Amino acid sequence: MRHPHNYRRPQPRDWGGITFCVLCALAGCRAPSAPDCTAVSNHLTQRVGHTVPSRTEPAQVALPPGAAFEDGVTEDEAVAIALWNNAAFQELLVDLGVARGDLIQAGLLPNPEFVYYWPMADKPFKYLFDFPIEAIWLRPIRVKSAAREADRTAARLAQAGLDLMRDVRQAYADVVLAKERVRVAGESVKLRGRIAELAEKRLKAGDISPQEAATARIDALQAEQDATRIGYDVPVLEERLRNLMGVGAMRGPLPLDPSPPPPCQTFDADALTQEALATRPDAVAAAEAVAAAQARLTFARLGWVRFLGVVDATSGKASHVLGPALRFTVPLFNRNQGGIARAEAELERAVRNQKTVANQIVLDVQRSHLQYRQACAELDVLLVKVRPEVEAAIRRAQAAYQEGNVPIFIALAATQQLLDNYLREAVLHGDLRRFWAELERSAGRRLPPLPAPAATAPPMSPPVAPSAAADNPPSKFDLPKQSAPPTARVEPIVSAACSPVAPRPVAAEAPQWTPVRAKP
């Protein structure tokens, strides 16, 4: 049995040291890392094969690897340059920094508070520490909500990148189409000018009335007016493309190197729709918004609780005496009813917005697919049915005119139909580019194009006059010269043919600027 004098009273625990160690351990808890530009870049790389730079200078133009102006800008290069330099998109990317700051703030614990009471007569001095203990179990809820918001921001910016790519590709297609329209308009001016010259010669010979000659002359002037108007469409559309690419301040030429339009192919629109509903970035962002709203509702139901841990130190007879204490909220009147109601409304709005986004995705995919199929079907009719008929009509008109059976205006009218046919083909090729860009944006990824299908009908050779020399073939719009009426000598109407299939690269000088080439 131990002697009473050997018995040692248990020493009071050092609650201040214990509390300090606990707080230090809690302060070491780190929130999950927030997505940055790398996350958005990975999104776009997996979907469409393009990247986003980690940071660019606002006052400089940064060219992505492989992009250059000197050898002509392809469609993919235009998209890559836009993702690196478009001011509005770069402004949106700053939201990642805001989301990162919110996530860091959500993971921080509040600082403990210190209170000191000066000693007075008959009242010993006292000091205490208090710490809101509820912050410990509320922290994971706050972090979860902020992390969901950060993921929603990254998905939303990935969708903004897809939208920018769609806009750039459609603007690129508009510029290519405008240049084709300028070429066809030039050919139309030459053709109608030759008609007007022929009419003047026939008027002088007394074969037609002044009214007929005036009609031909007015038609030629209207064609010149149309060509003048169409000529200004190219710089206007180029300015829009420059703006989307973020190179509007650069005033050098903008040479384009367009590729052929995508070949027509068949897709399962319903399968694309289901895939887009599950994987498109705006659908993912809507789902993240719902999860964040659910986390905020949970926080609203618990966040009103105040539960403070207090460590009190008071001077005693011998030394300071530390004692723990608790202070908590008694929920008699305020249980955050208003905050809970607001959180419930925000959750309902997020759920309904998710349904709205889903409906928009269905509309986008189905509509863009139908528009793409419409352009393909119309182009097929144009090339397989209309084009052969027009070319056959030209050959018949040329042969009849050569034999003296029809007037020259019949042959010229047939040639004008061929010009209109080539213009319509250029418009349909532009539609294919635009609808293909919209279809890929609607699906949320790059669709693999099929190899160019074999021609459904053998290509027809352009109409050639029977008497043309083999070493000097005329244009497809030329008319024969042997059987011209004695009152007017018929000469070639058009000197060059329009390209019926793919736009040719536009030759231009090198740009008069030196952009900064940045590293990804």
Q: What is the mean pLDDT of residues 341-358?
A: 94
For residue 345, pLDDT beyond 60: yes
Instruction: Say whether 486 sits in a helix, a strand or coil.
Output: coil
Let me know: does 339 contact 303? Beta carbons within 8 Å. yes
Listed in sequence order, the residues at least 6 apart from 321 whose beta carbon sits closer than 8 Å to its beta carbon are: 12, 313, 314, 315
- pLDDT band of residue 318 (cuts 50, 70, 90) is low
CA distance 381 to 264: 13
In this predicted model, which residue has the larger pLDDT, 170 or 31?
Answer: 170
State which CATH number among 2.60.120.10, 1.20.1600.10, 3.10.129.10, 3.40.1190.20 fits the domain covering 13-447+457-502: 1.20.1600.10
Question: What is the pLDDT of the chain when averaged over all its residues?
Answer: 77
CA distance 484 to 198: 11
Q: Tell me how far CA of residue 196 lies from CA of 310, 397, 402, 492, in angstroms.
A: 101, 19, 20, 13
Model pLDDT, residue 28: 45
Q: What is the mean pLDDT of residues 503-509?
A: 35
Model pLDDT, residue 55: 72
Q: In what order do the strands lie in the sheet with 320-328?
A: 113-117, 126-132, 307-315, 320-328
Q: What is the mean pLDDT of residues 486-502?
A: 33
For residue 353, pLDDT beyond 90: yes
Residues belonging to the chain: 520
CA distance 145 to 304: 17
Q: What is the pLDDT of residues 222-275, one digit of tens each?
A: 888 888 898 888 989 999 999 998 887 777 778 888 888 888 888 889 999 999
In this predicted model, which residue has the larger pLDDT, 7 or 210?
Answer: 210
Model pLDDT, residue 371: 93
Q: What is the pLDDT of residues 444-453, one digit of tens each?
A: 888 876 554 4
Amino acid 276 reads A
**From its phi and psi, is residue 225 left (phi > 0), alpha (psi between -120 and 50) or beta?**
alpha
Q: Half-sphere exposure of residue 512, counting CA atoms within 13 Å on the CB side?
A: 4
For residue 488, pLDDT beyond 80: no
In this predicted model, which residue has the larger pLDDT, 480 or 107?
Answer: 107
Model pLDDT, residue 383: 92
- pLDDT band of residue 117 (cuts 50, 70, 90) is confident
Q: From 425, 442, 413, 348, select the one nearest 383 (Cα to Cα).
A: 425
- Of 45-54, 62-71, 412-421, 496-505, the range with the lowest mean pLDDT is 496-505
Model pLDDT, residue 66: 77
Q: Which residue has the tokens 């959500």?
A: 106
In this predicted model, which residue has the larger pLDDT, 316 or 476?
Answer: 316
Q: What is the mean pLDDT of residues 421-435?
A: 92
For residue 126, pLDDT beyond 70: yes
In this predicted model, which residue has the larger pLDDT, 485 or 83?
Answer: 83
Structure tokens at 90: 């770069």
Let me know: does 134 contact 306? Beta carbons within 8 Å. yes
* DSSP character at residue 56: -
In this predicted model, which residue has the larger pLDDT, 330 or 160?
Answer: 160
Q: What is the mean pLDDT of residues 132-137?
A: 82
